[in-house]
Amino acid sequence: MDREFLLPGLFTVLLGFLLLTGLTYTGYEHFTEAESVDGEADVVIDMVADDWYFEPEEITVEEGDHVKLVVESRQSETGQYDHGIHIPSLNVNEHLEAGETHEVEFIADEPGEHRFYCNVYCGDGHHNMDGNIIVEENGDHNHEDSGNEDIDTNDLPEKGFEDKQEQLEYQKVNGVKEFNLTAEHIMWDYGDDHIVESWGYNGQLPGPEIRVQEGDDVRVNFQNNLPEPTTVHWHGVDVPIEADGVPWVTQEPVETGENFTYEFEAKPAGTRFYHTHGSHHGDEAEQMDMGLSGALIIEPEDYEEPDVDETMILTERIGEGIYPVQGQVYPDVPEIKVSEGDTVRVRMINAGSTAYHPMHLHGHQFEVVAKDGNPVPENSTQERNVKTVHPGETIDIEFEADNPGQWMFHCHELSHSEGGMIAEIVYEDYESEFSDTDHDP
């Protein structure tokens, strides 16, 4: 055979072989069964693997934690795609079949930052599906009962729903609305026999609602009475940099017994909230889980108040297995009372750090009128009866009370409903044939 034809032919065959073997290798990386880990998990984290992202993308745990990732591998509307989760430095490598929920367990035995990624098809990150697990030193710390281990919880004040202040009062000083906010160490009664060591703003969970008008000058005098340093962040508010509340970036954390003053103009209007940003990057989620969040509502100048305006803060106590609404678990969640013909606005705030909540309203359709506090244009509003609220997200909905009854409004991640994330819309003068004792079988 002529040499000028032989060499290109051999090259083509060799190239085809390399492509075939390369695709075989990168097309589906070998998965191993996760080694079994004895005992109950110290940290349980709900995750989503979808096209093309993981959520959450960053997870913080402590050295020595037994971690359980409950991963929902969603079956996308665009097709059915299997995923995988690979954490090379923690010896995790599991296949995530589409449409299934998988439990992935491991021991966080190496302090530092560990990258995880989907290793299906593309080998290193399935269309950039990746994230980080941060393992902090000191694995003896207990996520369920954070705080000073020397404190006897028997000495902590026990507080509950009857002690709550709905809105934080203010004084007007030289034209500035001045609020006093504290962070307190308490035992909080979530209801249904769940009394849990907690950290609450002004001694309650969630913290009292701060409600102002757009353009108001606001001053918040913050006092830290917790056993650990902390800060306050004004989520979704365009504050000046010195008021942003990020430890070691915009301020030093507020030490135990000390105070800090935050000043800002209330803007833009919308459903916002305030929450801890921790004492450093690694403990914000833990401090939020303990209860440090509250609603901040900034009304527009010409606010047309609906007949019913309710705020619904969604939180989580992972170690306790409960998912409260407004600091309570069902059946102790306060009812949303309406009258037939009312226009009802519900401001949903996900103040948790790990869980997403598909909130489903029975008996009604609603419109999504604001996302992250910002109005949805009229030509883009969505008529729904389920809307997922992600960590750190706020969703405002409105509906007409046109169907008398006692209607469930609950998280359709049903393990969260089981953990208490259920509210009820109750019409005036409606009487159910079932008594309060019929909530449980």
What's the whole-number mean pLDDT along residues 229-251?
A: 98
Instruction: List the one residue out of 201, 245, 426, 196 whose CA is nearest residue 331.
Output: 426
Whether residue 68 is predicted with pLDDT greater than 50 in this model: the reply is yes
CB-based contact 360:409 (threshold 8 Å):
yes
- Token duo for residue 39: 């005992």
* Band (381; pLDDT cuts 50, 70, 90): confident
pLDDT at 364: 98
Q: Which residue has the higher pLDDT, 63 or 119?
A: 63
Q: Which residue has the higher pLDDT, 75 or 188?
A: 188
Please give the backbone phi and psi of residue 319, each rounded to the nearest 5 degrees, phi first.
-65, -25
pLDDT at 143: 40
Instruction: List the one residue out of 94, 98, 100 whose CA is nearest residue 117.
Output: 94
Percent of the chain scored above 70 by pLDDT? 84
Name all domains of the chain by residue range, CATH numbers in brackets.
43-136 (2.60.40.420), 153-299 (2.60.40.420), 308-438 (2.60.40.420)
Spatial distance between the Cα atoms of 359 and 423, rounded to a whole number of angstroms: 10
* Band (174; pLDDT cuts 50, 70, 90): very high
Q: What are the pLDDT digits (tens) for 385-432?
A: 999 999 999 999 999 999 999 999 999 999 999 999 999 999 999 988
pLDDT at 31: 45
* Band (271; pLDDT cuts 50, 70, 90): very high
pLDDT at 228: 97
Spatial distance between the Cα atoms of 381 and 80, rounded to a whole number of angstroms: 29
CB-based contact 328:420 (threshold 8 Å):
yes
Q: Which of 66-80, 107-121, 269-283, 295-309 has the lowest mean pLDDT?
A: 66-80
* Band (36; pLDDT cuts 50, 70, 90): low
Spatial distance between the Cα atoms of 175 and 186, rounded to a whole number of angstroms: 34
Q: Which of 97-101, 121-125, 307-311, 342-346 has the lowest mean pLDDT?
A: 121-125
What is the pTM assigned to this prediction?
0.69
pLDDT at 270: 98
Mean pLDDT computed over every residue of the chain: 87
Q: Which residues contact 262 (CB under 8 A, 6 or more apart)?
A: 218, 219, 220, 222, 232, 234, 239, 243, 245
Burial class (CB in 10 A: 0-12, 13-18, 19+), 133: buried
Spatial distance between the Cα atoms of 168 and 273, rounded to a whole number of angstroms: 13
Pairing mode, if any, of strands 406-411 and 336-338?
A: unpaired
Spatial distance between the Cα atoms of 169 and 147, rounded to a whole number of angstroms: 29
Q: What are the pLDDT digits (tens) for 338-353?
A: 999 999 999 999 999 8
Q: What are the pLDDT digits (tens) for 277-329?
A: 999 988 999 999 999 999 999 999 989 999 999 999 999 998 899 999 999 99
Q: What are the pLDDT digits (tens) for 37-62?
A: 778 888 889 888 887 788 888 898 88
CB-based contact 76:50 (threshold 8 Å):
yes
Whether residue 24 is predicted with pLDDT greater than 50 in this model: the reply is no
pLDDT at 151: 66
Q: Which residue has the higher pLDDT, 117 or 419?
A: 419
SS (H, E, C) the chain: CCHHHHHHHHHHHHHHHHHHHHHHHHHECCCCCCCCCCCCCCEEEEEEEECCEEECCEEEEECCCEEEEEEEECCCCCCCCCEEEEEHHHCEEEEECCCEEEEEEEECCCCEEEEEECCECCCCCCCCCEEEEEEECCCCCCCCCCCCCCCCHHHCCEECHHHCCCECCCEEECCEEEEEEEEEEEEEECCCCCEEEEEEECCECCEEEEEEECCCEEEEEEEECCCCCECCEEECCCCCHHHCCCECCCECCECCCCEEEEEEECCCCEEEEEECCCCCCCCHHHHHHCCCEEEEEEECCCCCCCCEEEEEEECCEHHHCECCECCECCCCCCCEEECCCCEEEEEEEECCCCCCEEEEECCCCEEEEEECCEECCHHHCEEECEEEECCCCEEEEEEECCCCCEEEEEECCHHHHHCCCEEEEEECCCCCCCCHHHCCC
Q: What are the pLDDT digits (tens) for 129-151?
A: 888 899 888 644 444 444 445 56
* Burial annotation 386-420 (CB, 10 A radius, 16+ → b, else e): ebbbebbbbbbbbbbbeeeeebebbbebeebbebb
Whether residue 3 is predicted with pLDDT greater than 70 in this model: the reply is no
pLDDT at 112: 85
Whether residue 363 is predicted with pLDDT greater than 80 in this model: the reply is yes
What's the whole-number mean pLDDT along residues 174-190?
A: 98
Q: What are the pLDDT digits (tens) for 185-231?
A: 999 999 999 999 999 999 999 999 999 999 999 999 999 999 999 99
